[in-house]
Amino acid sequence: MTKKVEIDWKNLGFDYMKTDLRYLSYWKDGNWDEGVLTEDNVLHLGESSPCLHYGQQCFEGLKAYRTKKGDLQLFRVDQNAKRMQDSCRRLLMPEIPVETFIKACTDVVKANEAYLPPYGTGGSLYIRPMMIGVGNSIAVKPAKEYLFTVFCMPVGAYFKGGMTPVNFMVSDYDRAACYGTGQQKVGGNYAASLIAHEIAAEKGFADCIYLDPTTHTKIEEVGAANFFGITKDNRFVTPKSSSILPSITKYSLLYLAENVLGLEVSEEDVYIDALDGFSEAGACGTAAVITPIGGIEYKNKLHVFYSETEVGPITRKLYDTLTAIQIGDIEGPDGWITKL
Ligand SMILES: Cc1ncc(COP(=O)(O)O)c(C=O)c1O
């Protein structure tokens, strides 16, 4: 690595930063073109592009990490590739082959290596693949042309403080409908969630908890992260629902809780009025990593789990194990790490 950039690595938040190169590929007449790395971070789109009007777009989020030896590695990139294909199928967009997705991410990380935070700073390089429907058409129909891009930026903690407990409030709004697109990573879900987040932030909460859209009795998501709880008898429990995003971090934790920590694990209904059964709770996701949930406010009452200031022992162990794999301190299960 020759280039050096002046960045305060220890105080990175979760913000956009322009890095040197991004990948761009165009789909037309049934084919993806070769794809290029480009310096230009501005997209030139037709005014009638379906992504702008009808939200025909999807995206992903994953991270690259620097190991102690200084090597670069990606965490479970194949899972993001497959989830993006699922989003594409749901929105009638052309799928990006898994190999193309992985190569695009790899090329972008290598091209922006100078922006990858040093080992030990807690930072990582956040990678944002995105696909949008473009071209000239105004009818509510799938676009005739598509753009796939991958860009990246260095990031630190998503929720202020990182691995310190934060409080959430239950929202009256839904982010997704029950047979809608909650399982896919598509922009419309996030547009629908902005108001709920804003209300939670105004009231001093880190974010909001969404309940199931049909009965409003079960926990679905924690902002842009999945929920998990540790029951008083030490089971790792996470909600099962067809309208939440299948979090890659959550499935990684399910595996680690069972196979490394030896806990019983379960995906099941998590009722908002049964929080007493949990001794610890957390939000998990690529951006959130594991963020301990101090308490959840529901019907004007704050339910505190382990503590509003201290991290519970199982949450801590899960965090230490997951992050050690991500930064290469310990070996992960087969196929989790792609070394660049
Ligand atoms: C709504 C939502 N839920 C959960 C997650 C966590 O998913 P992952 O662990 O794959 O990042 C994310 C972030 O991608 C998200 O946006």
pLDDT tens string 238-294: 999 999 999 999 999 999 999 999 999 999 999 999 999 999 999 999 999 999 999
* Mean pLDDT of all residues in 132-150: 96
In this structure, the residue with its CA closest to atom 6 of ligand 1 is 285
**Ligand 1 atom closest to 248 (CA):** 10
In this structure, the residue with its CA closest to atom 2 of ligand 1 is 224
Strands (E), the chain: 22-28, 31-32, 36-38, 57-59, 62-66, 72-75, 124-134, 145-155, 166-170, 207-211, 219-222, 226-231, 235-239, 264-268, 278-285, 289-298, 301-304, 337-339
- Quote the pLDDT of residue 160: 67
Pocket probe mutation, ligand 1, options 286, 290, 326, max atoms within 8 Å of Cβ: 286
Q: Please report which confidence band the pLDDT of residue 38 belongs to, taking 50, 70 and 90 as the band edges.
A: very high
**Ligand 1 atom closest to 185 (CA):** 16
Q: Please report which confidence band the pLDDT of residue 10 belongs to, taking 50, 70 and 90 as the band edges.
A: confident
**Do residues 62 and 75 touch, judged by C-beta distance below 8 A?**
yes
Q: Is 60 exceeded by the pLDDT of residue 1?
A: no
**Ligand 1 atom closest to 62 (CA):** 11
Q: Is 80 exceeded by the pLDDT of residue 212?
A: yes
Give distance in angstroms: CA of 283 to centre of ligand 1: 10
Give distance in angstroms: CA of 240 to centre of ligand 1: 14
* Mean pLDDT of all residues in 97-104: 98
Question: Residues, the chain, total?
Answer: 340
Give distance in angstroms: CA of 23 to centre of ligand 1: 22
- Quote the pLDDT of residue 2: 67
d(CA 254, CA 275): 20
d(CA 211, CA 285): 18
Match 């753009």 to its residue by tokens: 147
Give distance in angstroms: CA of 4 to centre of ligand 1: 31
Give distance in angstroms: CA of 284 to centre of ligand 1: 8
Q: Which residues line ligand 1 (CB under 6 A)?
A: 61, 221, 224-226, 245, 247-250, 285-286
**Ligand 1 atom closest to 83 (CA):** 10
* Mean pLDDT of all residues in 213-227: 96
Give distance in angstroms: CA of 336 to centre of ligand 1: 17
Pocket probe mutation, ligand 1, options 58, 226, 227, max atoms within 8 Å of Cβ: 226
Q: Is 60 exceeded by the pLDDT of residue 80?
A: yes
* Mean pLDDT of all residues in 301-327: 96
In this prediction the pTM is 0.96
* Mean pLDDT of all residues in 206-226: 96
**Ligand 1 atom closest to 286 (CA):** 11
- Quote the pLDDT of residue 3: 83
- Quote the pLDDT of residue 179: 93
Q: Helix or strand or coil: residue 279?
A: strand
Residues taking part in catalysis: 185
**Do residues 125 and 116 touch, judged by C-beta distance below 8 A?**
yes
Q: Please report which confidence band the pLDDT of residue 84 belongs to, taking 50, 70 and 90 as the band edges.
A: very high
* Mean pLDDT of all residues in 300-310: 95
In this structure, the residue with its CA closest to atom 1 of ligand 1 is 224
* Average pLDDT taken over every residue of the chain: 95
* Mean pLDDT of all residues in 83-93: 98
Encode pLDDT of 152-169 as tens digits: 999 987 766 678 999 999
d(CA 150, CA 43): 12
Pocket probe mutation, ligand 1, options 244, 247, 323, max atoms within 8 Å of Cβ: 247
Q: CA 339: distance to chain centroid? A: 20
Q: Is 70 exceeded by the pLDDT of residue 229?
A: yes
